[in-house]
């Protein structure tokens, strides 16, 4: 994959695609992690005397939508870079072209939300050509969007000298490193709501890992496949067959596939429900499993503490509800404490780490949800492939 070192950027105008798809509440950014994650690349380019045309998407607008303007993002970026960031009122067009043309080295222009253009998600080549006309070279640092072949993540790279930014480079190298050259024991912890979201990841690890630990609601399709009653736990029906197959594969491949030993249950999905600890995994009628129990938490922690490499995606329970955050917290603490290389992906897993104040205690916290899962599954990411990766 071509990187910043392969690109001559001095005095050039650089079209930089970033992932600034931040959460907004009433027009205010509630978490600017994604903006901060792109700063090393933007600063490295500015340091090399480039001028920047920054492109990003926000949400899923259908056409121009003022509620999804990048104005608050441009303002926050200006604060973080400590320099003026001009927001073009449009994505492409005469105004953007003029503003881009007027850029002097060290200046920063941001385009409006690229998804205001219908051609963006269609990877329209005409739009890609218009992007290319705004700059001399292209840098993609939007790892979170690299699994999409869109005009600003893939198409434009066919028209300009191109390379990966520092964040994209680190994400790809770290995640591929786990697959290709991990320190053993390699342990994958997979949780969250749906097994079908992550069965590709489970499969990838059954081939490579020494142990795969299952938590979250996705344990219930496994339990159902084994004949355990699941009560009214969240149990994805379409997940049962893949779970049964994964159990067989694990046996055949000699990978330890660990399921919870005990559970914490509630009457319903709420923070003030009565908590019923269950010694075992047969969930009685009328109850729902909402977290792994303490025996599971300590068994999983022990595996994590003895690992050489840990990949974690998906919480162990409904951690948003305080009584059911214990399992996720225990695993997060083990991930923070182990000497292993630790890589965490997934929006909710990242939020859980942040909630426990442990986000800076892991080796790598991936900024890409879908993109990191697809990379682990061994899929080719269009935004990476076009950069020679
Ligand atoms: P990530 O974003 O880290 O990939 P997911 O989106 O797959 O994680 O899963 C997170 C969601 O799974 C959370 O909203 C959490 O409430 C839910 N969840 C986890 N365990 C359970 C459970 N036992 N019952 C219901 N929901 C659960
Ligand atoms: Mg999620």
Q: What is the dihedral of CA 10, 11, 16, 22, to 10 degrees?
A: 100
- Measured by CA distance, the residue closest to atom 16 of ligand 1 is 318
Could you read off the pLDDT of 17-46 as tens digits, one per residue? 999 999 999 889 999 999 999 999 999 999
Measured distance CA(18)–CA(139) in Å, rounded: 9
Which residues are known to be catalytic? Answer: 34, 194, 347, 370
Could you read off the pLDDT of 159-200 as tens digits, one per residue? 999 999 999 999 999 999 999 999 999 999 999 999 999 999
Residue 121 confidence (pLDDT) above 90: yes
Ligand 1 contact via 144 beta carbon (within 6 Å): no
The ranges of the chain annotated as CATH 3.40.50.1260 are: 4-169, 182-377
Triad 115, 121, 126: Cα angle to 5°: 95
Ligand 1 contact via 317 beta carbon (within 6 Å): yes
- How much is the pLDDT for 369? 85
Ligand 1 contact via 152 beta carbon (within 6 Å): no
The DSSP result for 115-134, as a single string, is GGSTTTTTT-HHHHHHHHTT
- How much is the pLDDT for 16? 98
Q: Ranked by mean pLDDT, which of 160-164, 354-358, 366-370 comes out on top?
A: 160-164
Q: List Cβ neighbours of 287 (8 Å cut-off, separation of 6 or more).
A: 231, 232, 233, 265, 266, 267, 276, 278
- How much is the pLDDT for 166? 98
Residue 81 confidence (pLDDT) above 90: yes
For residues 107-119, average pLDDT? 98
Of ligand 1's listed atoms, the one at least distance from the Cα of 197 is 7
**pTM value?**
0.91
Superfamily for 182-377? Phosphoglycerate kinase, N-terminal domain (3.40.50.1260)
Ligand 1 contact via 216 beta carbon (within 6 Å): yes
Report the length, in residues, of the chain: 389
The span from the first CA to the last CA of the chain, in angstroms, equals 4
Ligand 1 contact via 242 beta carbon (within 6 Å): no
Q: Which of 188, 190, 192 to mutate to test the pocket of ligand 1 (most atoms within 8 A of CB)?
A: 192
Ligand 1 contact via 266 beta carbon (within 6 Å): no
Ligand 1 contact via 290 beta carbon (within 6 Å): yes
Residue 347 confidence (pLDDT) above 90: no
How far away, in angstroms, is 324 Cα from ligand 1 center?
A: 11
In whole numbers, what is the pLDDT of the chain averaged over residues?
Answer: 97
Q: Which of 194, 200, 216 to mutate to test the pocket of ligand 1 (most atoms within 8 A of CB)?
A: 216
For residues 206-230, average pLDDT? 97
Of ligand 1's listed atoms, the one at least distance from the Cα of 321 is 16
- Measured by CA distance, the residue closest to atom 9 of ligand 1 is 192
The residue with greater pLDDT, 295 or 346, is: 295
How far away, in angstroms, is 350 Cα from ligand 1 center?
A: 12
Residue 346 confidence (pLDDT) above 90: no
Q: How far is CA 59 from CA 23, 120, 155, 366, 374, in A?
A: 9, 13, 20, 19, 20
Span 4-169 CATH architecture:
3-Layer(aba) Sandwich (3.40)
- Measured by CA distance, the residue closest to atom 4 of ligand 1 is 346
For residues 337-341, average pLDDT? 97
Please return the burial class of 118, using the count of CB atoms within 10 Å of its CB with bins 0-12, 13-18 and 19+: exposed
How far away, in angstroms, is 346 Cα from ligand 2 center?
A: 6
For residues 54-58, average pLDDT? 98
For residues 249-254, average pLDDT? 96
């Amino acid at each position: 994959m071509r990187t910043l070192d392969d690109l001559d950027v001095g005095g050039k105008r650089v079209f930089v695609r970033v992932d600034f798809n931040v959460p907004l509440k009433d027009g205010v950014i509630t978490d600017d992690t994604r903006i901060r994650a792109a700063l090393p690349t933007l600063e490295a380019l500015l340091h090399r005397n480039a001028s920047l045309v920054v492109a990003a998407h926000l949400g899923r607008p259908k056409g121009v939508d003022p509620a999804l303007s990048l104005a608050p993002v441009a303002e926050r970026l200006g604060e973080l870079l400590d320099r003026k960031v001009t927001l073009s009122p449009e994505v492409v067009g005469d105004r953007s072209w003029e503003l881009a043309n007027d850029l002097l080295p060290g200046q920063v222009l941001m385009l409006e939300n690229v998804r205001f253009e219908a051609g963006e998600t269609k990877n329209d080549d005409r739009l890609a050509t218009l992007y290319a006309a705004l700059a001399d070279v292209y840098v993609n640092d939007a790892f979170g969007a690299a699994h999409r072949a869109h005009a600003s993540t893939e198409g434009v790279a066919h028209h300009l000298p191109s390379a990966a930014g520092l964040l994209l480079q680190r994400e790809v190298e770290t995640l591929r490193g786990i697959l290709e050259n991990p320190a053993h024991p390699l342990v994958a912890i997979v949780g969250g709501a749906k097994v079908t979201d992550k069965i590709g990841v489970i499969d990838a690890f059954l081939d490579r890992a020494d142990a795969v630990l299952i938590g979250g609601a996705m344990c219930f399709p496994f339990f159902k496949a084994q004949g355990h009653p699941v009560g009214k736990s969240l149990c994805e029906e379409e997940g049962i067959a893949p779970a049964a197959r994964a159990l067989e594969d694990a046996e055949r491949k000699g990978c330890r596939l660990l399921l919870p030993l005990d559970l914490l249950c509630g009457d319903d999905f709420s923070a003030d429900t009565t908590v019923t600890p269950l010694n075992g995994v047969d969930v009685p009628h009328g109850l729902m499993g909402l977290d792994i129990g303490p025996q599971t938490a300590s068994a999983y922690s022990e595996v994590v503490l003895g690992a050489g490499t840990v990949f974690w995606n998906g919480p162990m329970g409904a951690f948003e509800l305080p009584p059911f955050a214990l399992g996720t917290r225990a695993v997060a603490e083990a991930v923070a404490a182990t000497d292993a290389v630790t890589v965490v992906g997934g929006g909710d897993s990242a939020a859980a780490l942040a909630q426990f104040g442990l986000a800076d205690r892991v080796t790598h916290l991936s900024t890409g949800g879908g993109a990191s899962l697809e990379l682990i599954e061994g899929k080719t990411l269009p935004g990476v492939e076009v950069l020679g990766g």
